[in-house]
Structure formats: structure tokens, C-alpha cells
Structure 1
């Protein structure tokens, strides 16, 4: 079916009220319901952001499960018809409780993949909500949409769609403790129970959050969509399903999700996005840093000066040290590295030696933290090693592979030795120390590694902790 990201704009009138038509917001708006024998009860709302990908409030899903439903049903309404979706996978971010290490605290923002379980109505476009990662400014207007807590009996929809408008009164980029662990904001608006999980839009009609909670007499709390971009799950439409796990940014790259602005994600799941100057000032005022964090977070001028003077030397040291660490790997750990390539495990048995050559140099080096002591600076950095070439030598008598491997692998015979050459691309996090007195770098150690698979398996592969320990050694 065709896709549409047409947005709806609503009047700037403070307060809450019903929309004139159930279809004014398009069928991107989702009713989260439980099914019973003769009726469907709407418990909350959600929003479709990609084909078979929706966002809602975690507590709405938990409520559906608590009342005995096998799983929630997601409904989107068209003139004279409705589409029904069933969940395949539900994911949300979580943290360990500060008060009980045995308990996880789960975000109220859930990303869900779902399959269509009704007629597709292919002549009607599938409406999707375009998104924007933003920090709403205090005093900014936001619109919340959602359904009332109602029932659908004998196929008749007794459903009303509500819209509420209010002003942002506070923002919490680090969440509100364990009550709301995800970035959120407080809005002076009324919302009804069935609106929980529904979309919250800015004045451009872009999705910035979902309704999380409200109290009698206001205010309401909105969970921002930031955390959704860190999540992975199994896609359901063919374009996504063939890749196994997917993400919102992966879906965006395939033209199935729309996000305004510059947003990227590194192999470790860290999401980077660009905020306006006003948003950055609000972020700084709303995010108290501990003394240790202030010490480790470099000022922009300090960072530029350091990189300008020492960046090229640090990059060279990081490249040389990374290759040296790879060449010190045990045979077992070397095989783990090559798991992300097309080289079959059996081909690597009985090898005599291996070497590694930096073939592409370091790219996109970034300083993450700088922590000062008396005369030392401890630096945490990330970078991409654009290409490094493994050369593995195996006696012909012990080689158990075929004459051809394929992919990005070169195979040849040299006398009685089988030589396998394979190229890899990797992303690294590392720590290095800098002596301010001598101007020397030392104590380089790799903290984490992610390897890019061949194009047929393009999701990055994060290497296990045993390998990291080997690299550090």
C-alpha cells in the first residue's frame, strides 16, 4: 500500500475537546485495545511511525496484559473501515534501579513492530507520523491526540478522538528519576486516560513525544521520543524483515520512516542529533552535571585547541596501537574477529601465522571525554578504522576450505602455503593518556569494538567482552 506522511495542523486554542471527525488526524493515530468475546475496549493510544512500526506508552501495554488479554490489538481508522495490527515484538529501554539492583526500571516509551491482521485497503495510503528529535522550549505549544477510554461493540465504533493543547512548563532531559527515566517534559494541558501513549505534536505537526501521565487539575507529562532511536527490533515488512533486527534510523535509510534534522547512530547505539542554540541553552540549564562530569567534559575552545595541536599525532598513535593490539590476539580471538566476514570457521583451522595491515587509516576520530589529573589527561575517544587487511597463512596439508571463498576474501597458494587475505572495517572506542609536561601519549587501551559485516549482513556486530579483555592486554 502507498505511504503518506501528510501532517495535520490544529487550532492554537488552549484546552481539550473532541475533533470534529475521527479522521482529522489521519490513520497514523492508533487505538490500543484489548479484545473480548463481543467487544473491543480501547485502553490507550499510539502512533504509527513506519509500516508496521508504532510508538506507545509502556504502561498502556502493561495494562492490556494485566487485564488478561493475550496481546493488545492496534486499530487505525479509515472512512468506513479499519485496519487491525497485532504485535510481533515490543521493546523499551531500561536501567537498573538505584534502590534495588535486582530490579530494572523500564521507560514509558515502547517501540513495537506489528503485522497487519485485516484487509489492507490498499487504495487508502498508510498514514505515518513524521518525527523530530527536539527539546521543547518552555512556553512552546504542544498538541496531544488520543482516544477516549471507550468500547467497540458488535463492529460499531463508539469512539471519539480528543485533542488537547498546552504550554511547556518544564523539561527534564535526564528524566524525572525512576518515575520517568526517559527524557520528558511537563505541559500545562488536560489529557484523558485513553489518550495515554498518543502522539504529541509541535506546531509543524511533527511528532516529538507521547502522552505518559497526567494528574487531576494538570500538569501532564510527555515522554520525548529520543530513546526510541536507540532500540532494535524485528521488522515485519519485507524490506525490514530481511535484515533481521532493525531500528528507526535503519528504516529511515530505506525510506520507510521520516525524521526531520540531523540524526545518526553509531555501532554502540549512541544517538547523535543536532539541537538549536535555544535548545542547547535550555539543555545546559536543565542538566546539572556532577563535579566529576564537569571535570571530564571539555570546553569547546579547549577541545579545539587540543585537537589542533595534538590531534594528528593522537590519530597516528591510535592507528598504530590498534593494529599492534590486533596482531597480539590469540588464535581463538582472531577467529572471533573474522566471524563477521565470509571466511568459514573451518578454513582457519591449523593456521601457521597471521598479520594485520592498516589499509585505510583512521577516520571520524572524536574525543568523548577528557579527564584532568595533576599533569596527565585521560582521553576517551572513538574512531573508525576504514580498512584493515588480515593475511592468514595455513599449511596446505591442514587447510580444510574450498578453493574459493567469495565475498571480500582473496585466496591464493604460495608454495605449500594457503594465503587468505580478508578486509575488515571496524569502529573502536579507546582510552589514551597524555602527559602535559612531555607531550607524550601512553597507556593506549581499546575499550570496545564493533565490526561491519559484508553487505549481505550489514548490521554492525559488537565483539564480546572476552575479546575486549584480550585487546586491552
Structure 2
């Protein structure tokens, strides 16, 4: 498949040469003036600026824009993808280079949705989609793959931002140019919990003009970092931008070997492999939850931008960043001791059937699990890496802490019938150690490294922790990017 001769690109099967392309995060610089105008050249932003196109018999139509953030991973607006019916041809993504073009085809798409507050049977989707795509054209190995560096941030009111994208247009023999546009303006409002059902993801308003076809395109700050994608606008402005926050929670199938280690991959995983760049204070815990830390100015804007109804959905933090650091320094050891104590107390109080579930995480066969008649568990060497994820005020003297931690050496001692153990000695000895027999009962040990999530209440006046609980546990996972 090709476009017209002037904008020709041949669509091929997936090209593995994508793996070998040199990566570049070079960003363009633009003037600090309001208004919209043409970009300096078609290939100024390289692959970072994506045209979302429909190929038809009479030519190609650019319906929207996108932004490439990792090899074969791009962000765009969900409503642009919705222009392609499920039973029809899908989008072709085009990127423009000096004297060359690359074409990409989608292989996986993810967005985030939730039930409508007006109709529980109807799903409301975020306008931000993460797309995994394959390179389906000549690779042009001599030209780098240009990617957009990302920043997880809440732009402040008065900050200048730039939006980039394509004009909605057809490309046929009469179309002289494909014209990328750039527009600039100042942030005027933030909607950190979204704008109702019109825009369910965190977003913000910018006093700038944009046009049809720019939807899904990059919105960058003065350092060239991607902070959002363009979602909607009024004629002459303002424009509304979806923050890229939700993108870090999405997972798609990878397009290059390093992003195919697991079934799916996130942009944070691509960042860990050096195939994407993310700036900002972002942490992912072992359970897959993501935490974003905002600056004091960003947090002030976040809180003042919430409606009265939205306040009910937000936990009020009991400690700011500096107070949390002081608390960890003064009370971290006591919290660790309380956390380990409640883990051992909880685990040792569980029935054998529940413990079988814990040991199943270590790939113990079912016949061995069902043979377990008794157990005990102890900690060999304390915990590691306790991390407080939130603090919620209860009243003036108490607050609740949520946290997670890692116990590297949890020692399980299990008991089973000695005759069964002798009959299955070879299978047991590769999974357990120190097997011995006494009074017809075989006992043996197994070590696990597990993560735990828990909570506790701290009493400021009494300076003690109470109500410690364990809410979730998981075996230390294999690498999951």
C-alpha cells in the first residue's frame, strides 16, 4: 500500500530493523508568543510528531495527531482512534523525516475507563490512549528515531506551553503540503480530577488556539518535555489538554525484544530499559500501584482546583514531604518493628489452607501443598525498604499510615506425614531444606522473599503505633517492566 507519489510510503510487514534504530530525544525550541502557525519544517520534530491517517482508495486523510514516546509506543487522543470503526480499516501512523517517511501499524491499544455516574452500564473512557505499534515501512537506518521525553507534572497557572500537531486534511495529488502546526499559550486552569464526564482524566486549560487534526498531539513545556496531549478546543481558544499521568498505569504489548520480556509493558518499563525518558517523582510499588509526588506549588494548585464534591474523593495528607522525612527518621525503626510483628502474628494465626496459598506462590506442586498438616513462620533477618505511601489525618492527635515493605528471608517450617515425605523425598528436597523426622512427623524449611502492604495508626501524644494490619502480600516478583 502506498500514498500518492508526493507523499509516498510503502506499507510493509513488520520491520524488525526498528530494534536497531538509534534513539534521539532532541527537542525543538519555539518562541514565547501567543498564537498558532506552521512549524519550521515538516520533519522538525521527526518521529516524535505522529500523523494519525486513514488510507483510502482516493488518497490519505490525516484525522489527528500523536506523539512517539518509545520505540513502537505512542500516545494519542482516544476520540481520534474512535474515528476508525471496529469493522473497518484501522489507522496508519505516519512520521516524517528529511526526505523520508516511516509508517506504523497498531498492534495493541489501552486506555482507562470507569462507569458513568449517570448510567452504571455505560463506560466513560479517558481521552488518553497508549498504542503499541510495529514499524511497517523501510526503517531508514541512517536516521535516528526521535522520541518525546516525558515529564509527570502539573503545569502551573501562567506557565507557557506549546502544542504540536497536524491539520485535518486529505493528501492527494492536489495537496501540496502536509503542514504541521505549533501553537502557544498560557495555562489558565487545572482540573486534577478531570472535567466531569467530558474529560475523566486529569487535565488543564490553556489559552491557545488549536485546530482540528491537532487532537492527540504533543503539549510540551519550555524544556521540551511532554506533559499532555491535546484533547479539545473552542474556536480561537481555549484548548483543553489531558495530562499524561494515566499513561504510566497503562500496559501494552511491546514491539521490540527488550519490551517483550513480559506479556505487556508500560512506559515506566520502557524508561527502566533506557528506551523512554520520564522526568518527575514517580514511584511504582511491587503491587503495580503508581504514586506521583508533586512539588509544593503543584500541590497548592491541585488542592485549590478541586471542587467541593471532589474534596470528598481526596485524602488529606497528615504530613507534608519534610514532615514525612522527619517522621521516617524518628519513627522508622519502631514502624519496622511493628510491621514485622504484625506479619508474623497474622501469618502464624492463619489456617493451613491459607498458608498453602502462600507457598503456592513458590511453585510448590499441589500434591505437596495438600500434604501439609501444620506450619510455623519466622523472620530471619528483618525487613527491607519500608516505604510510606500515604498519611491520612484522623484527628488532631492521630493519623493513619499506609506503607509497604520487603521481608527478604521469611522462613516457613512445614509439617507432614513422615511416610508421605519419604515417598516424595526427591520432590521435597529440591524445594525445602533441613528435612528431618520425629515421632512420625516430617519437618522441613523453605525460604521466601515477600512484599507486604499494611497500615497502622500513629498516636502523636502517646508516640505509639496501634491497629497495625497487613492488607496484601505478594512474592517478590520476577522483573516486570
TM-score, scaled relative to structure 1: 0.85
1:323 equivalent to 2:348? Answer no
Question: Partner of 1:64: helix, strand, or coil?
Answer: coil
Question: Residues 41 and 149 of structure 1 are in contact (CA less than 8 Å); yes or no, is this contact kept in structure 2?
Answer: yes
Give the deviation of 1:452 after TM superposition: 2.1
Spell out, residue by residue over 1:322-352, the C-alpha distance to the aligned partner (whole angstroms, 9 max, x if none): 1221223333332332343243444423123
Question: Residues 38 and 154 of structure 1 are in contact (CA less than 8 Å); yes or no, is this contact kept in structure 2?
Answer: no
1:297 equivalent to 2:317? Answer yes
* 1:391-470 correspondence to structure 2 within 5 Å: 391-395=413-417, 397-399=419-421, 403=426, 410-415=432-437, 417=442, 419-428=444-453, 430-433=454-457, 441-453=465-477, 457-459=478-480
Give the deviation of 1:405 after TM superposition: 8.0
Work out the number of aligned pairs and report it: 453
**Which residue is equivalent to 1:47?**
67
**Which residue is equivalent to 2:392?**
370
The 2-side partners of 1:157 and 1:458 are apart by 49
Give the deviation of 1:441 after TM superposition: 4.7
The 2-side partners of 1:436 and 1:12 are apart by 50
1:77 equivalent to 2:91? Answer no
The 2-side partners of 1:425 and 1:410 are apart by 17
Spell out, residue by residue over 1:265-286, the C-alpha distance to the aligned partner (whole angstroms, 9 max, x if none): 1234433334333323322322
Give the deviation of 1:359 after TM superposition: 3.1
**Which residue is equivalent to 2:411?**
389
Give the deviation of 1:411 after TM superposition: 3.4
Question: Residues 42 and 180 of structure 2 are in contact (CA less than 8 Å); yes or no, is this contact kept in structure 1?
Answer: yes
RMSD: 3.1
Spell out, residue by residue over 1:82-141, the C-alpha distance to the aligned partner (whole angstroms, 9 max, x if none): 222122221112223222222222111111111122222222211111111111121111
* 1:81-92 correspondence to structure 2 within 5 Å: 81-92=100-111
Question: Residues 391 and 422 of structure 1 are in contact (CA less than 8 Å); yes or no, is this contact kept in structure 2?
Answer: no
The 1-side partners of 2:456 and 2:302 are apart by 29
The 2-side partners of 1:192 and 1:288 are apart by 30
The 1-side partners of 2:174 and 2:415 are apart by 69
Question: Partner of 2:355: helix, strand, or coil?
Answer: helix
Change (3 A) 1:353 1:136: same
Change (3 A) 1:125 1:190: same
Give the deviation of 1:158 after TM superposition: 4.5
Q: Which of 300, 318, 326 is the equivalent residue of 1:281?
A: 300
**Which residue is equivalent to 1:350?**
371
The 2-side partners of 1:238 and 1:278 are apart by 40
Question: Partner of 2:130: helix, strand, or coil?
Answer: strand
**Which residue is equivalent to 1:198?**
217
Tell which deviates more after alignment, 337-346 or 45-54. Answer: 337-346
Question: Partner of 1:174: helix, strand, or coil?
Answer: coil
The 2-side partners of 1:113 and 1:406 are apart by 44
